[in-house]
Every structure is written in structure tokens, then in C-alpha cells.
Structure 1
Amino acid sequence: MSGSLPSLRRAAAFVLVASGTVIGLAGTDLVLPAVPSLPAALGGTLERAQLVLAAFTGGTVVGLLMFGELGNRFDQRKLLAGSLLVYALVSALAAMAPSLDALIGLRAVQGASATAAAVFAPGILRALYGDEDAVGALGRISSIEVLAPALGPIAGLWLLNAFGWRASFHLLAALAFSLGLLVLFWRRLLPDAPRRNGTGGYRHLLSNWTFVRSAIEHAATVGGLLLFVFGAPTVFVVDLGATVTDFIIMQAIGITVFIVLANVSGRLVKRFTVEWVVRAGALIFAVGAVAMLVYAVAGGADTAIVTAIFLLVNGGLGIRGPAGFHQAIVAAEDDARGSAFVIMAMLGVAAVGTALVAPFITDGLVPLAAVTAMLAVTALLLRFSASPARA
């Protein structure tokens, strides 16, 4: 019985950390369906209502940098509990917002407070499982996180239709408050993640080429997949003569493949090496992205074939994602700042890539596939630019 206690504690700690990251992600996905209805409820225009999403994203960037810095100075467990309680308070205030402008301002603070779990999760998991098993834990969290964009909007739409736009914010407040209290009173379940080499700041971090290479490579891979997903619905409907349902099918199959392989990634690392797994995943991802571009240039328009090729892209990310993220954090020698920078880079690549594709999105699959392939090949070249001994 005593031998099972540590395992039970680790499982409980994992649930706390994973729940924190999912609640943070839900700040976008759960609210998304309500955005078009906000002008009618609070005044303003549809264009201005989009700032409800943009403000949350902007706040996220600030929060990543802030918690990356604070995590090397204070107890991350207390910071996590405090961030969740602030998130709950701001979510409750957002539900009572009297105007669209007030909601936009609150969303920026909400986005900043939502990021602590994502920043602290890698360091906590390293302390909880050790480096040997941390990749598997990151794979499990990734599997849970990837469901949020799929299920969040569905839940948000139901809440909107049943209770109105404020319901999503009420639910976020209740969930964040409950989890914040659990983390606060049960924080001893979580390890006190060590502050690794945290005195140099972000400048010191960016002077570490091994980390920068791994971070850019990971950001290019994840960002490439995200921008493809962002642009695919329009391409499916406008260029391929398909429907949004066809895109949803592709996305559902892709998410399934990602979840399966992300959970296999940790086992592959134990059987081979982290570097082998990351290289294999990067190669599969690049092959899929280039194949998509070749098919697009050849004039291909069969969504079944696009979906089949997309499985390679998702599979490659599933294999290398958890291992590559963990490798970057280890190279950083600074878990909190390293995690914050990698996540910010991922968001930045996705945003810039989406902006590059946007003017050409109605021109078909080629522009979308081209930018995705460019990022995939860049990531592959970065991966093979260093010897396995250095990586």
C-alpha cells in the first residue's frame, strides 16, 4: 500500500497541472462562439468584437514573459494558485462587463493570468517524474490540451444558446476558483520545481544557441501545423469545393493520430534516444508538409487525399512534439523562462504565418501548403544542423 502512495500523489499532481493548462486554453475556445453576439449585447461592431480574442492573446504574451521571470524568483506552486484565483476573479468581472470596451480590457488581464500553468508545467513535471519519464508526461498533457480546441467551442456554443454569452465567463470563473483553491491547499502534492540558472534573465537564455535552435525548431513545427489548421476551413470551402464538415473530419482524424503518437513518444525515447525521436518526428512532419505542397502544385483537390497527407503532419508532430519541447527546456537550463519563450515563439510563428497566408487564402491550397512546408523544412534543417552529441 505504501508503495502506491507516491504514484497516487504523482497522479493527483499531474491532474492539477493538466487542469490548469486546459482552463487557460478554455479562455479562448469556450468564449469563441459568443463573440459574434457581443455587439448586440454590449454595443460596438463585429470588427471591434474581434478584439475580445486579440486582447486575450496579447495578455497571454505578457503573462508568459511575466511568469517566466517570476517562476525563477518565487515558489511556483503559490504563483500557480494565485494566478488561477486572479483568473477566476477577472472571469467573474468579465461576466458583468457593462460594455464591449470594458470586456476587452478585462480580457487582456484574463489572458495574462491564464498562462502560469503552461509556463510552470514542464519544470514541475521534470521534478515530479524525472527527465526519463517527463517526455511521457508531456505527451499525456499534450493529448489533453489538443482536445480543448475541438471540444471547447462545442461547449461554448451550448452555453451561449442555453444561458447567454456571460455563461462561458461564469463557468471559467467557477472552474478556475475551484482549481486555485485545490492548488493552494494541496500545493504540497506538487514538487517545488528548482530554479535552474535563473539569474541571467532572458538575455542569458537567448545567448544559449542550443536552446534557441531547439526553440525555433519546435516553434516552426507547431506553428506550421497551427497556421495550416487556421487556413484549412477557407481553403476547403472556397477552393476544394468541400464543406466545413470535411474539414472537421480531417481535424478529428488528425487529432486522434496526434494523441496516439504523443503518448507513444515517451516510450520511444526510452527505447531509443530523445534525439532519435525528435529527428524521426521532424522528418515525418517535413515529408508530410512537402507532400502536401507537391499535391497542391499538381492541382490536387481531393479532400480525402489532403486528409491522408495531413495525417503524416500530425503524426510527425505527435512523435517529436513532447520530446522536442522537453529537449528545449532541458537545453534552456531555466525551466520557467525556457517554457515561456518556446510557447511565445509557437504563438508568434502561427500568427506571422497566418498573416502571410491571409492575402492569398482564396488562391487555393498552394499558398497555405507552401508556408507550412517552408516552416517544416526550416525545422528539419535546424534539427540536422547539430550533431546528436550536441543536441
Structure 2
Amino acid sequence: MQVINKEWIQPLMWGSMFLSSGGGGGERNIAKLLEKTFRQSLEVNLIELNEIDPSGQYLAVGIMGSPELLGEHYITGFEGVDLFDQLNNLRNNSIQGLFPLEAASVNILYPLLVAGLSKRPLINGDAMGRAFPEFQMTTFHLNNLPSTPFVLKDCLGNNYHFHDEDTFLLELNTRQVVDKGGGVGFFVGYPTAGNILKRILIPKTISFAANIGRTFLESKSYAELLNDLIVASKNSLYASVIELFVGTVENSNHIRTKTLEWDTIAIKGKGYYEKEEFKILVKNENLIAYRNNQVAAMVPDLISIIDLETLKPVSNSNLTAGAEVAVIGMPAPLVLKTKKSLEFIGPQNFGYKSKYKSLEELYFSYYFGD
């Protein structure tokens, strides 16, 4: 067991932004709230999968909706505490702890806040290993496990309870509630026994996010940062990061065809990549990347952007034309790359018809030598 204190907050914030693969937003607001809360000597026990009580019950907690709208709402963390109490009462006060559904953006930070305020431990693992936009893109769905009972609070303070709905219907119904209730919602759900969580959660993703985040706080140059990211990732469940491109952001556009609808990011190469071009296709997160019109990376592998001026991860909503950036790829955990997993998180789930090619396949010599 590790203990999370205020020294973890900044590393977790930057690590969560890196793992969001261009999506996310609102991390700084939640981090400020965490720093204020943890200033009062608050600590949270971070428990490993092998420390979970096999017979205990645990809940997922998080935020859904538009990251850009988070700053328009007054968030305290007690929204999640209230929802936790509601579902805990439904479960005869049997809930022992919490876990994040996805290891990225505010959905690392907000569960930590709720865990601290409710004085419950947080599990060092999650059900996505990165950011994904929909509830069926989890290891719960992969293992045919229920997501309900599920309790949602919109920004108007209304509570909604969902029971006995499959994951796709839950995704549809909760999105409708959030869209009508201010664009942001807070939730708890997925009550699950510890012995099952030990089997299906992706382990150590919270501590990994903190390790990644520390590299952004400690590195003094891009070369040092890239090396530190390689060191932090190469012995993890993700495997080593790889530099995909370095250049200047030219523009961001929205494109629509008969079958596809994407946002795109165009980057013009510099230095080693001079006279080359790079394009990223985006749907919430960075999903497909091309270098000179050849596939350079694909979901579920992570495609993250680093601002070379600040040496920090940057979300797509904050990218501006003229910014000098590095594009970094990182292999997804193996559980996300099985044939069964790719059926619901592979490129075809986002309207892209080509077969998934892993970073290891695309850059074989980098990962395995000549």
C-alpha cells in the first residue's frame, strides 16, 4: 500500500494529461481543489490489487460530459461523496473503497478527491488504461460484467438512478441526461466484488500516471524529457514510449465524409522531420496518426502531444497554430490489444475501417532490434 499526499497531485495532473491522448480538460481546476483539500493533512491509501478484500465491494467514481464546461461549474467533490452514500446505502453499507474507471484526465483526479473526502481507499488500477469516450470501452464490458446500479448527478443537482441496463443503453441514457443537465455529470457505479476486480482491472495505472507526471516536473530539456519518459514507461505494462514526430502545428480542422467525421491536427516537420508532414485524426482523443500519409500510430495505442516550449502535455483544446510540439506514442497494455478487446476499442469502433497495427509492429526495429 502507498499513501497519496499533496506531493502526488502535480505529478498526477501532468501524468493524467499525458494518458488522456489529447482529450480531457479541466485537470488544473480539480488539481487546485485537491491541493486545497490535501493542505489539511489529508491522505488517501492507494491499495494494490493484491491488497483488495476479495469479499469486499468497491465502486467506480468519475466525471462525464464536456471537459471544456467543467470550469463553468462549481465543483467540490461532495457531489461524488453524496452519490457514493446513495449507492452505498443501496448496497447495505458494504462499499469498502473506490476505483477510477479510466486512468486519464479528471478521471484520475476526481476519484482521488472523492476518496479523500469519503475517507475510503483508492485502488491502484482502472478499467481502461487510458482515456476512452464510452462506457462499453472498459474491461467490465470485455468481461460481460454489469455497470449498474449506477447513480448520476447532473450540474443542476438532479440525481438519476439506473438499474439493470446493459452498457450500451447506459451510455445512451446517461449522455442524454448530461446533455440536458449542464453538459457535465458526476457518477458512481460498477459495484463489484474485490475478487473480480483483482482479475479485470488494469493494475498500477495510478502510480504509473504519477511516475510519468514526475518526468514533466523534473526534466530541463526535451531530450532529457524523452529519455525520462522512456525510462518511466519501458518497464511498465505499457512498454517504452517512442517519438513519432516533431514540428509546428499548422491548423486544426473538422472533416466530414460519407462514412467518417473527424477533427484533424496538421503538423509541419522541423529538424530531423523537416519537409515531412504529420496528421492526427481526432474523436475526443487522438486516434489515428499519419506521417507522410503512412500510418504512424493507431488506437488503442496512445498518441500524446507535448508542447516544446513548456515541456508539458497539451490537450487538443489548447493547441494553437504555430506551437512547436512533439508527438509521442506509447503502446497500450496488452489486455487492450487482444482480438476481443479490439472489437470494441479498435479503430473500427470510431469509423475507421483499416485493421489495427500496433506500435510494436509499425516500429519493429525500435522495440525488438534489427
Could you say which structure has the higher strand fraction?
Answer: 2
Tell me if both proteins adopt one fold, taking TM over 0.5 as the criterion: no
Q: Which has the higher contact order (CA 8 A, sep 6+)?
A: 1
Which category of TM-score, normalised to the shorter sequence, fits these structures?
A: under 0.3
Question: Which structure has the larger Rg?
Answer: 1
